[in-house]
Structure 1
Amino acid sequence: MARKIPQLIEQQVQFWSRKKNAEKGYHPPAKKLPIITVSREFGAKGAALATALGDEIQFKVWDKDLLSVISDEIGRSEQFIKALDETRRGLLEDTIFGFMNLRETNLNYLICLVKTVQALEKKGNNIVVGRGANYICENDSSFHIRVVCPLKNRIQAYAKKEGLPNGVAGEIVMAKDEERKSFVQYNFKRNVDHPGDYDLILNSNTYSIEQMVEMVIHAYELKTGVKLPRNHARKKALA
């Protein structure tokens, strides 16, 4: 039987906290702090920013861990849930899923996604990557980021990383962008490119990961009026 979402989240966070507490220089946040969401274009380094930011301010980063929680709650494998994740299926795929008596799974995924993000927002001290999380959050203090990068640069970087011709890489990058846009449009009736939906938009072609981390922290503190914790051990390691 699937466990309740708050229990799953609590177990994940406790595990993460025990691991972090064992690291030199780590000090757990003294109070609950507003959640951060990271929307990103494919290949714009949004996930890398979230990871670095989480390490610096000692927030738990939820990306692939979200799939673990949702798959456990729905009672399906993570591989199956990945097929639904940030993807809007076409009519043919919906029909196939219907014949498999799995038509309701897409709705179940969305329901669990909303419940999970809302639970993470309520708990605080979390960073959620993608999945339209900024449209799910209800607290005005929550902080929403979008990371962008010129298409040409993203294509070149992806082609180099995967060893692909630029033409093939371009098709993949644009398809991934469209999947994410369609997911948000279909489920939340919003356009991910609308600047008014974010507190801060960053161009990863202009700034390094560390520069973006500092910009996010500064903007977050200005909006929320709270001081974020800093991982001094990480700073020493980067120096």
Structure 2
Amino acid sequence: MGTYPDETLDKIIEKQIKRWQVDQKKKYKKPIRPVITISRLPGANASKIAKQLSKDLKIDAFDQEIIEEIAKNTKASKKVIASLDEQDISIVKEWLAFLSSERQVWPYEYIEQLIRVISAIGAHGHAVILGRGASYILPKEVCLRVLVVAPMEKRIQNVVDAYSVSADEAKRNVMRTESDRRAFIRRYFHADMMDPMNYDLVINTENCSVPVATGIITEAFNNRNWYNFSIDKMKR
């Protein structure tokens, strides 16, 4: 995983907060601003799909690396959380209370920060979030939860093509990363990452190109009824 120097991270956050501030000044008629969360098996081309969704839908994209860096940086986390208006703060508090009672998340400092950061991003809305348990943190009523998969052989070949490594090295990387991701979700969210019932949409990219996968997700996102959401309904 790459790292972000503090200066670069600050600039990224400042730029993002400015976009959020512009959105907050608009008069939204819709009760929520939904997001797309993407869980994925390594090598299944989910990052390419997330980038294309961001471009096509004109929404913000947050990958695993930037979310991790923000969550680990106390100053950065506070900036993101402080960007919320009073209404969004209230929503996030409701989400956190619900998440605590529903999933009984372990109270580790990093996980707590991670949850707050992703909740803040979710409250702002209009985003695609790649990885870091976002599908298990945000209420299912406010996000389209997508799982991107592919057979092992296909994923190994994708890694070989993307990083010019040997098939053996690619296989080791894919297997290790997959094990780490599944363990992360199991440990902190008490869930099976590969259970299809945890998602709204599962896409196998073995014979599905990035544009086709993006189109399927976009269609599902645009045609879902987002306007019946309420905290009370979420608690039922």
TM over 0.5: yes
Amino acid at match of 2:119: Q
**For residues 137 and 147 of structure 1, do their structure 2 counterparts lie closer, same or farther at Cα, with a shift above 3 Å needed?**
same
1:1-239 aligned within 5 A = 11-15=14-18, 32-63=32-63, 64-73=65-74, 107-224=108-225
Cα deviation for residue 130 of structure 1 reads 0.5
Structure 1 residue runs of 4+, over 4 Å off?
Answer: 15-18, 28-32
Q: CA RMSD in A?
A: 3.0
Quote how far apart the aligned CAs of 1:211 are: 1.2
Counterpart of 2:173, as a letter, is I
1:17, distance to aligned residue in structure 2 (A)? 7.0
Question: Is the Cα–Cα contact under 8 Å of residues 39 and 145 in structure 1 kept in the other structure?
Answer: yes
Alpha-carbon deviations, 1:80-132, whole Å to 9, x = none? xxxxxxxxxxxxxxxxxxxxxxxxxx922111110111111111111111011
Letter in 2 for 1:113: L
Structure 1, unaligned runs of 5 or more = 1-7, 19-27, 77-105, 227-239
Taking only the aligned residue pairs, the percentage that are identical comes to: 23
Shift in alpha-carbon separation, 1:29–1:164, aligned structure 2, 3 A:
farther
Change (3 A) 1:209 1:16: farther
CA contact (8 A) 2:142 2:226 kept: no
Please tell me whether the aligned partners of residues 20 and 124 of structure 2 are also in contact (alpha carbons under 8 angstroms): no
Equivalent in the alignment of 2:85: none
Confirm or deny: 8 A CA contact 1:50 1:61 kept in the other structure: yes
| Deviations 1:189-225 (CA, angstroms, capped at 9, x unpaired) | 1011000011111112221111111111111122235
Contact 2:35 2:125 in 1 (8 A): yes
Aligned AA for 1:123?
H
1:167 CA drift (Å): 2.1
Distance 2:154 2:46 in 1: 14
Task: Give, in angstroms, the shift of residue 157 of structure 1.
Answer: 2.2
- For residue 183 of structure 1, report the CA deviation from its aligned partner: 0.5
Q: CA separation in 1, counterparts of 2:27 and 2:128?
A: 14
5+ long unaligned stretches in structure 2: 1-10, 78-106, 228-236
